[in-house]
Amino acid sequence: MRRILFTGLLCCSAWLSAEPLTLSRIVSEPSLAGSQPSKPALSPDGQRVTWLAPREDDLDRYDLWQYQLGSGQRTRLVDSTLFEEGELSEEEKARRERQRIYGKGLLEYQWDTQGKALLFPIGGDIWLYRLESGKPQQLTRTEAFETDARFSPKGNYVSFIRQQNLVVIDLRTGQEQSLTVDGKGPLKNGMSEFVAQEEMDRMSGYWWSPDESAIAFLQVDESPVEQVIRNEIFADGIKLTEQRYPYAGRDNASVRVGVVSLDGGAIQWLPGARDNGGYLPRVNWNADGSAVTWQWQSRDQQTLQLWQWRKASQRRSLLLTETSRSWVNLSDDLHFLSTQPGFIWSSERSGFRHLYLMDEQGNLVRQLTEGNWAVDAVEAIDEAGGWVYFSGRRDTPLERHLYRVPLSGGEVQRLSQRAGFHQPVFSDDGSVYLDHFSSTRQPPQLSLHQADGKAIGWIAENAIEGDHPLVRYWSDWTQPQYGTLKADNGMTLHYRLFKPKTRPGQRYPVVVRVYGGPHAQTVRDSWSRHDYFTQYLVQQGFAVFQLDNRGSAARGLAFESEIYQRLGKVEVADQVAGAEYLTSLPWVDPDRIGIYGHSYGGYMTLMSLFTAPESFAAGVSGAPVTDWSLYDTHYTERYLAHPASNAEGYRLSSVFPYVDKLKGQLFVYHGMADDNVLYQNSTKLYKSLQDAGKLYESKDYPGSKHSMRGKTVQLHLMATIEDFLKRRL
């Protein structure tokens, strides 16, 4: 593999005189891990690899960079300072919070189909950047806020949402056309509802047909959703925000699917394509644009149906149904084939997510993958070569690898080689792919490969040598020890332990860093920004322990669904098993084991301190859910069912029946403008603790959202957590 970036010799003296990490270094230097490509992509013409990277003079501002495959040059492709940057709308701020998009400058981009132009949404307007001219062209200049902009499949149009309506611009004529006009108030066209953004990984509400003749879109009517007035508390005042928030057990938005043609005419509302008391999580066109499909999910999420409407017959048909005794997880693994009738589909019907080839009526042709391991996602399909490329966990749940399997059936081949976490991005024709790779020993790298896995060259090697920012700290960087424990039902639990430098005869405190919730995995061989604080705690003399309890991801549906209809029980039991293991280690002080987590991890901290007070001496609970009736429908009811059918499960899953059992030291923090886990969760907890006469510590952050972003907030929060852990452990 040809080295392109970060060449140089390692200075041995740097290894012998490592500097200690500081909180200010962690917070103010996001480049601590070196070159970290963000949103890497291959241009459609196959000539460039592009990614977003922060500027040296402003680490919060991002430019678009390129690596040209022909010349091997790495240069800035688009400078963010060329664009005027307006103020974001409140809706867009919330959307970006749910997308976890932060910073300034160029934060999103899209290539046209020819690889000759780029589209940038900036500050509520849309900009076109043609590579030939090297100058940005502002496509919209209105007081209204335009969002969710994209090129049409052939690059002749740009579509976007303005004032809750779907609009297109013909790039050949410059003419603008509003495809819907009735969006206002609670009625939204082409947009995704709150639970779709927050819980279904669907940030958009419209989809182009392959021939550019029409757009399928969702019309969302939020009027059934309870409108609440939520306080967002800032340093200089309180902002009253009206929000339609679908609390568990309450009404959801009403959603239906329509198709609108660009040549005019009435909107065609597809027969039966409504939520009907459930959800519409996915909409797709087939390969030739002759049919629209939608997935319907029942309110209890135990049934998922794939429906199809064909333009020629104007009729709908049911292609397939998935069912589960707990819940059916969503995926994006529906891929229609273009050279033969049928599609690729993934399902957990065997207990693990695997790939299936279906005919055009939805009948099974053959199962492509099988075994007691999980497919993560379909990455590409090469119909000409007869391959399906996918990422998964066949070798170990702690690593993510790229594999391929013949469309005709046969043996699975592993293409990625190095142990760690591989996130491939394929070219449109499937001939090459980018490998976004990391491990606990290697911060993120980006390399280019042929489809069969053969390396072509580095895009960003990011080797820890020379002037890499980690060199000065690397000799004190602690690698975790991995291992397994058994849950009380015999299931295998994976853990990792970061051990400080110990002295014979001394015992050390341990911080259990926990998330514990579904659809997440903390014990894996990958680089994470969260591990910077872990490394800092280890250098301060703490051991840090992580265990993926039952309910977490990448282990199959049976492992995940152990939490069904009762949260905070088996998860805590598994964390207690982890604490018991820690007490067996001769260098661990059994009286100084603490627990720390954010969001679901904050909830786990509370449940662990309240229901297993003998196992944990102290805990840090960040932005916790305390009462699941205060959280949204789609997430909460997936795991706890409807409150009307599982009232006792909701009661026992909240923290309040156990508050009086608190014995250890508790510290709670929360953002006072959190629109995900509402601040009310913590105020309700504070009152309950006070009523029970329980002492606790708290820090609440004016203006902060759920992710607690911002250098000053992060620095203060980490310093406060460190102070608490040192005092209490």
Burial environment of residue 395 by CB neighbours within 10 A (0 to 12, 13 to 18, 19 or more):
middle
Q: 497 near 484, Cβ under 8 Å?
A: no
Residue 599 a catalytic site member: yes
CA distance 457 to 42: 14
333 backbone φψ class: left, alpha, beta (φ>0; ψ -120 to 50): alpha
Whether 353 and 365 have beta carbons less than 8 Å apart is answered as no
Say which of 35, 674, 682, 707 is annotated catalytic: 674
- Whether 205 contacts 164, CB under 8 Å: no
CB 650 within 8 A of CB 656: no
- Kindly list the distances between the CA atom of residue 588 and the CA atoms of 331, 354, 493, 496, 593, in Å, as whole numbers in the listed order: 42, 41, 20, 15, 8
User: Backbone phi, then psi, for 16, in 5-degree steps?
Assistant: -85, -15
Place of tokens 């940030």: 203
Angle at 507 between CA 501 and CA 513, to 5 degrees: 70
CA 206 to chain centre: 21
At a CB cut-off of 8 Å and minimum separation 6, what does 236 contact?
A: none
Quote the DSSP letter at residue 489: T
| Residue 603, burial from CB neighbour count under 10 angstroms (0-12, 13-18, 19+) | buried
Nearest to 556 by CA among 592, 512, 521: 521
Phi and psi based region of residue 271 (left: phi greater than 0; alpha: psi -120 to 50; beta: remaining): beta
- Considering all CA atoms of the chain, what is the largest pairwise distance in Å, rounded to the nearest integer? 82
Residue 37 and residue 425 in contact, taking contact as beta carbons nearer than 8 Å: no
Catalytic residue flag (residue 674) = yes
Assigned token pair, 639: 């795991």
Catalytic residue selected from 326, 526, 599, 682: 599
First to last CA, the chain: 48
Residue 89 bears catalytic tag: no
Q: Which of 468, 598, 634, 706 is catalytic?
A: 706
How crowded is the C-beta side of 383, counted as CA atoms within 13 Å?
13
Query: Are the beta carbons of 623 and 669 closer than 8 angstroms?
Result: yes
Catalytic residues: 599, 674, 706
